[in-house]
Structure 1
Amino acid sequence: MSAKYEKNYFSSDFTLGILGGGQLGKMLLYETRKFDIRTKVLDASDEAPCKIACDQFVLGSLMDYDTVIDFGQDVDVLTIEIENVNLDALEQLEENGKTVYPPTRALRTIQNKAKQKLFYVDNGIPTAPFSRFAYKSEINDSIANGALEFPFIWKAAQFGYDGQGVKVVRKLEDLEALPTGECIAEKMIDFKNELAVIVCRNPNGEVRTYPVVEMEFHPEANQVEYVICPARIDDKVARKAQEIALKVSEKIGHIGLLAVELFQTQDDEILVNEVAPRPHNSGHYSIEASYTNQFEQHIRAILNLPLGNTQSKVAGIMVNLVGAENHTGEVLYEHMEEILALDGVTPHIYGKKQTRPFRKMGHVTIVNQDLAKAREIAQQVKETIKVISKQDG
């Protein structure tokens, strides 16, 4: 083994810090426990899914400068499982000599959707046409003078997550209930498919891409319902999607994982929608379907270890488990036994005790040698399992 890989992370006093204690962090911890890597996690909820699996849990706000500074003092490498963190604190930790991956400069571009879109334009990366507004009220002026036409996609510049902060605007009244701050208005794209490519990169410059996946979204919640790997698209389109994702990765300079969400237009052009610099919903299928799952790959990348094989062993489909409409309260998973009786089905329950409509509570992976069969079973899973509340059940 060359000198560049000699650092001993395993069964040692090395500590990996993770900002965010949600389900992505919990799934990262499956891999750190496999490797016996010591972990410390910061989250604002005392019921965070990560709490049961990390070596040290710290309760506190990811957006509070002093809290993040204090948290980062005694870790060796710091990473994130959510973008909404205090970047000034991370930048200060970097200046103090701490290793932070992804680097703060990449996070500054990604955290603000307006900056992210301008980054694509500046770097010749294809993306949907858009307008940037400092305040929502400016949109009305833009509509009045003919510079903006219905329908369009409104996106909050910051703090959107899991379908929040995104709205299709078809008429003036649709704007009324939206937040007033910085936002973008994006042209609606007539697309065939929504695709995603996960790119992984380590500090040595090794880069791997996962196969292109296809995403099917819930029309109301704007959340992914199904992720299908491999995407049911032409090989030329798949190559174009991977090439564009690699260009985004190179220009943005991330370390770790970068999930690049894409539109395939009716004439097979590829447009970048947005990116996430962390493990991502579009890669959950990889836990059962890939040689190296996305969470292990993120750990390998941020610790500058050799990257693993990103190819699939088998076709994989992921179904999101979200809280049923009209159900709020202590969670109950109905018909779990029925889905466990199906071939190739593995549920992942995130450990959130309270459900509410469309809250991500878990996911189910379906693997099969035959993609069409996997999709058929996925539909069966979706129609069978119910995430409800005990008092409403």
Structure 2
Amino acid sequence: MKAFYGDLRLGILGGGQLGRMLIQQAVNYNVTVKILDPDREAPCRKLCDEFIVGSLNDYETVYNFGKKVDLLTIEIEKVNVDALEQLEKEGVLVYPQPRVIRLIQDKGLQKQFFKENDIPTAEFQVISSPEQLKDSTIPFPYIQKLRRDGYDGKGVYKVVDESYLEKAFTEPSLIERWIDFEKEIAVIVARNENGDIETFPMVEMEFNPEANLVEFLISPSTLPFAVQQEAADIAKKIAESLKIVGLLAVEMFLDKQGKILVNELAPRPHNSGHQTIEGNVVSQFEQHLRAIFDQPLGNTDSLSNAIMINVLGEQGYEGPAIYQGIEKVMKCAGVYIHLYGKALTKPFRKMGHVTIVNTDREKAIETARYVQETLKVIS
């Protein structure tokens, strides 16, 4: 592979905020970055060396884009994997590997992978037709998930009892037992081509109940060490089993009995790792680049307590974004604001995030609550 700090051309499929933050790190390594995204106003458009407007799902578009780079990575899983497999055959490095992306694109295949590799997860059943829902062996209530294209809470439906079945998804899906969980937790793990593996400290997450998006994240966790170690071991086992190159976010539940169950995977930088930019020795974005460049992985230790808040578009507002209260928030010590360059807001759209760092955990949480109440995206 060409030296990453020289003339290597990195291509990223997707020009959203994750790509934007990858570019911000790649600049430090002198990496040339090309972006493909269907939205000509995508957050990456002004930061990359070359921005190409085109479909991520069209074979020819993805293939032709990939032929112009030396190494291809993703910031979103919904991409044309057939094109990536052909590029890989022709010598273009694709990380994470196309086979990994194909597996993770399909939640049914994900669940089957967990079962085959003894990864703890909720009891599930793959559903191919609405009729199969009526014959389910999983008792009410349960969660129905579309096998493909679900994200940020979309494609997820809670079936409480038989009366909910008429509004259930008709597309191929899976159902899984409802977990009465104590906490939602996550571990981000990185693996390079050499087989080196590092995990970031486990984080605790709170979700917006309406949008089902991560809204509040606390790092590092204060749950018992044994829980944190088990979560890290599970993440490492998954990364090893997949032989993935790059970053992998592993979202998990901790149930009321103290058992950890894996929910879903994301083979890329993830919302549950944004706090690493200020809160850890190495950020998730640098770690992803280190992994795909097959360089030594960085130290993932926490530097301080770090709380991350997603900045979402307020309900009832749609149009040019106005960040109400931003001046008040910027007066607070230890507050780091990241805006994503999205000109237009709409309800629950991810417009940015804020990280609050403080050696005093309770003070960090108190400041984070203030930021959450004060900073609003309206139009």
Q: Is residue 129 of structure 2 the alignment partner of residue 142 of structure 1?
A: no
The one of 190, 202, 219 aligned to 2:192: 202
Q: Deviations over 1:303-341 (max 9, x none)?
A: 111111111111101000011111111111100001111
Counterpart of 2:91 in 1: which secondary structure? coil
- Aligned residue type for 1:165: G
- The Cα shift of 1:266 comes to 1.2
Q: CA deviation at 1:138?
A: 2.6
Amino acid at match of 1:343: A
Residue of structure 2 in register with 1:348 after alignment:
338
Deviates more, 1:293-302 or 1:169-178: 169-178
Q: Distance in 2 between matches of 1:47 and 1:159?
A: 22
In the alignment, structure 1 residue 168 sits paired with structure 2 residue 161: no
Tell me which residue corresponds to 2:299: 309
Q: Are the equivalent residues in 2 in contact too, given 1:322–1:387 (CA < 8 A)?
A: yes
- 1:29 and 2:19 matched: no
Counterpart for residue 52 of structure 1 = 46
Q: In structure 1, how many angstroms separate the alpha carbons of the residues matched to 2:264 and 2:214? A: 14
- Partner in structure 2 of residue 3 of structure 1: none
Q: Distance in 1 between matches of 2:231 and 2:77?
A: 24
Q: Is the aligned partner of 1:250 residue 2:245?
A: no
Q: What one-letter code is carried by the residue in structure 2 that aligns with 1:307?
A: L
Partner of residue 67, structure 1 = 61
1: CA distance between counterparts of 2:29 and 2:198?
21
TM-score of the aligned structures, taking structure 2 as reference length: 0.97
Per-residue Cα deviation, 1:217-240 (whole angstroms, up to 9, x for no partner): 111211111111011201111111
Distance 2:172 2:80 in 1: 18
Q: Secondary structure at the match of 2:139?
A: coil
Inter-partner Cα distance in structure 2 for 1:342 and 1:300? 33
Q: Which amino acid aligns with 2:102?
A: R
Distance 1:387 1:175 in 2: 36
Identity, in percent, stands at: 50
Q: 1:104 aligns with which of 86, 95, 98?
A: 98
* Secondary structure at the counterpart of residue 52 of structure 1: coil
Question: 2:138, 2:176 within 8 Å by CA — same for their partners in 1?
Answer: no
SS at match of 1:357: coil
Given that residues 355 and 387 in structure 1 are in contact (C-alpha distance below 8 angstroms), is that contact kept between their aligned partners in structure 2? yes
- Name the CA distance, whole Å, in 1 between partners of 2:353 and 2:378: 15
1:127 aligns with 2:117: no
Aligned pair partner of 2:266 in 265, 273, 276:
276
Q: Is the 8 A contact 1:137 1:180 kept in 2?
A: no
Q: Secondary structure at the match of 2:341?
A: coil
In the alignment, the residues of structure 1 paired with residue 312 and residue 165 of structure 2 have an alpha-carbon distance, to the nearest angstrom, of: 26
Are the counterparts in 1 of residues 124 and 138 from structure 2 also a CA contact under 8 Å?
Answer: no
- Please give the per-residue CA displacement for 1:350-379, whole angstroms capped at 9, x wherever unaligned: 111111111111100000011121111111
Q: How does 1:261-272 map to 2 (within 5 A)?
A: 261-272=251-262
Distance 1:301 1:230 in 2: 23
Alignment size in residue pairs: 379
Give the conservation status (yes or no) of the 8 Å contact 2:185–2:254. yes
Provide, for residues 211-267 of structure 1, a one-character-per-residue CA deviation record: whole Å limited to 9, x for no partner. 000001111211111111011201111111111111111111211100000111112
Unaligned stretches of 5+ residues in structure 1: 1-5
Within the candidate set 6, 9, 12, 2:4 is matched to: 9
Task: Using the TM superposition, name which of 46-55 and 127-136 deviates more.
Answer: 127-136
1:13-50 deviation line (CA, Å, top 9, x unaligned): 31000000000000000011121100110000000101
Q: Which moved more, 1:103-112 or 1:282-291?
A: 103-112
1:42 alignment counterpart: 36
The aligned counterpart of 1:81 is 75
Amino acid of the structure 1 residue aligned with 2:329: I
Contact 2:66 2:72 in 1 (8 A): yes
Q: Distance between the aligned counterparts of 2:50 and 2:169, measured in 1?
A: 36
Q: 1:218 and 1:177 mapped to 2: Cα distance?
A: 22
Q: Once the 2 structures are TM-superposed, how far is the Cα of residue 74 of structure 1 from its aligned partner?
A: 1.5
In 1, distance between residues paired with 2:163 and 2:17? 36
- 1:50 match: secondary structure: coil
SS of the residue aligned with 1:102? coil
Residue 287 of structure 1 deviates from its aligned partner by: 0.6
Q: What is the match of residue 369 of structure 2?
A: 379
Cα distance in 2 for residues equivalent to 1:175 and 1:68: 38
Contact 2:307 / 2:355 at 8 angstroms: preserved in 1? Answer: yes
Matched to 2:70, the amino acid is D
Contact 1:153 1:169 in 2 (8 A): yes
Following superposition, the deviation at residue 164 of structure 1 comes to 1.0
The equivalent residue for 2:228 is 238
1:319 aligns with 2:309: yes
- For 2:302 and 2:4, locate their aligned partners in 1 and report how far apart those are by CA, in whole Å: 27
